[in-house]
Structure 1
Amino acid sequence: MENQKSSSSLKAVIAVLAVLLVGSLVYIFKMTSDTDVVKTELKTTLTEKESVMKDLQELKSTYDAAISENTSMSDELTQERDKVVNLMNDLSKSKGDVASLAKYKTQSVALQSKMKVLMAENEGLKKQNTTLTTQRDSAVVVIGEAKKSNEALAGQNEELSKVVEKAAKLTVLNTRGSAYKLKSSGKEVATDKASRADVLKISFTIAENQVAQSGTKSYYVQVIDSKNNVLGDKKTETFGDNTLTYSFMSNVNYENKTVDVTENLRGKDFPKGTYFVNIFDKDQLVSKTSFSLK
């Protein structure tokens, strides 16, 4: 009887132990499974965090490259790049839990979308700038060629003006000087005697020139005697730094045809010797001659 009771108690203990063993095994299995799940989730979370960080780094590199091109959008691109950098800093400090990682992924996707819009706009501006630069360079070339052409034309015009100016210069020739004795009748008698001379007759010819401007032409006539004295009015005219003392001025009505001019210079007690006659157009000597009185 007692043996039967002991046997029953032993079986009960064994049964309890068996149940406990099974429960322990089930608990251990569940704990192991949960740990594996946690490890798997943690590994997955870390991988996704690295992936998001990689995307953000690529996004930053894209902005850095665009900013270095120094376009008109550089300020806006810099602001967006700074947002990416701040998100990278926040992500690196995060614990990597699923909730926060989801938030960072959402923000990363939003930044990537904004980047695509800005990059498209930046590329458009670059193309416009390229077109404008090409047009500007073309304009510079055209302007440069036009400038060269204008300079060449200006040079040609200057040369032409010089040619025309030179061609328009009147030629004074056949300048002569001689002495005359005035008789009481008014008749003039040529003489080569200084003691008999009452008037010096100066004559010259202005040649025909169809290019020259017609109108009154003024010439300064300078007559110098053998003692180096300027005869006549002895007036002085200033031309810039030059001064001219002359005997008289001859005003001629010129109509582009040959004109013979004769002027009289009255005097007395003319000295013997060589006389010099100089014709000036302003301060430019245009003709000269000499003659002698005995």
Structure 2
Amino acid sequence: MEENDIVYKPSVKLDNNRGVEQQVDVQERGKDNPKIYFFIFAILALLATNIYFYIKYKSSSEQQTTILSEKIQMETELDRIEVELDRVTKENLNLTESLKATQDNARTKIEELRAKLTQNELNRTELQRAREEIAELRGAVSRYTKDIKQLKNENALLVSERDRLKESVTTATKKASELENINSELEHKVEIATALKLSSININAVRERKSNNESVETKAKRTDKLKIEFSIADNPLAKKAIYDVYIRVIEPNGNLLITENHIFEVDGVEMQYTDKTGIEFSNDGKLYTIEWKGAENFKPGTYTIVLYTNKGTMGKGTIRLT
């Protein structure tokens, strides 16, 4: 019995020591557990914080990118609006005061919106407001374009009407000019028609004798005067009145015989004449007589006698002296 006690004592001692060690380890591990939990919590908190800031940064970055893209789109839209505004106003139209005010307001609004879009602090609300203002501006410019088009169409109608009136005036003027020319031609024809014309003319060389006797001569040296007898053709259009008859005597060598510088006008042309007399025209076919004693010594050859009124030549005749 005693030997057995001696045998088993060391074994019991060993078990007691191991239990104590295990108890100590458990106590030490119990003390370390809160630290481990704290570190785990800290790590989780750090991860959560990083994830939060990552998500927030990513969301903010995406939002900034979206805002920048929208700003670029709105600036492009402003460019289009301004180009359209320039296009419809560069045609030098005479704008009404209302259209001028609309144009000025649109350009002022464009400048204001450009200034807003250059700001980097625009938030979503301000950006939305800018978008609405651009939409309003687009509508205003659209109405302005429509008004300009209407004004242009009205101007085109006015120009067309003006051209039509000018054409009408030109046509009327041309017609009036044609009628005036026709009237002038008719008046000229009437003048010609009313002019007195000779139906017959007879020229004799006359020698004066004593006791007022006369004889017809053919010799130039014995001729004292020329007697011109003529009748006027029937003309119911000619006015019955006293007419001046101008006589032009052309001697055989072709010179006009004149004693003074007598001038008369026929169809706007001034001419010299040898002598003149007055006759009373009554369109009755009677015979008229004119005597001319101009030359002191008649020369042999052919003399030409031309009779005129202010309306033109009445006729002419010749006589040959030997």
Fold-level match, TM-score > 0.5?
A: yes
CA distance in 1, matches of 2:289, 2:128: 116
Q: 1:196 to 1:55 in 2, by over 3 A?
A: closer
Tell me what 2:166 maps to. 140
Answer yes or no: is the 8 Å Cα contact 1:177–1:277 preserved in 2.
Answer: no
Identity of aligned residues (%): 18
CA distance in 2, matches of 1:122, 1:268: 90
Q: 1:280 to 1:268 in 2, by over 3 A?
A: closer
CA distance in 2, matches of 1:269, 1:69: 88
Question: What is the count of residue pairs matched by the alignment?
Answer: 290
CA distance in 1, matches of 2:236, 2:70: 99
Structure 1 counterpart of 2:319, which letter? F
Tell me what 2:46 maps to. 24
Answer yes or no: is the 8 Å Cα contact 2:247–2:308 preserved in 1.
Answer: no
Query: Which of the numbers 263, 266, 271 marks the counterpart of 1:238?
Result: 263
CA distance in 2, matches of 1:64, 1:166: 70
Query: Which of the numbers 46, 58, 62 marks the counterpart of 1:40?
Result: 62
Q: 1:77 to 1:70 in 2, by over 3 A?
A: farther
Tell me what 1:105 maps to. 131
Tell me what 2:217 maps to. 192
Answer yes or no: is the 8 Å Cα contact 1:216–1:252 preserved in 2.
Answer: yes
Superposition pairs for residues 226-265 of structure 1, below 5 Å? 234-239=259-264, 243-246=271-274, 248-265=275-292
RMSD, aligned CA: 3.7
Answer yes or no: is the 8 Å Cα contact 2:247–2:273 preserved in 1.
Answer: no
CA distance in 2, matches of 1:126, 1:267: 83
Report the TM-score, using the length of structure 1 for normalisation.
Answer: 0.78
Q: Displacement, 1:87?
A: 5.0
Q: Displacement, 1:125?
A: 0.2
Residue aligned with 1:138, SS: helix
5+ residue gaps, structure 1, are none
Report the TM-score, using the length of structure 2 for normalisation.
Answer: 0.72
5+ residue gaps, structure 2, are 1-22
Q: 1:33 to 1:223 in 2, by over 3 A?
A: closer
Residue aligned with 1:125, SS: helix
CA distance in 2, matches of 1:268, 1:106: 114
Q: Which has the larger radius of gyration?
A: 2
CA shift digits 1:177-236 (9 cap, x unpaired): 22154553x5x44332767766543222222212233322111224567798988x8233
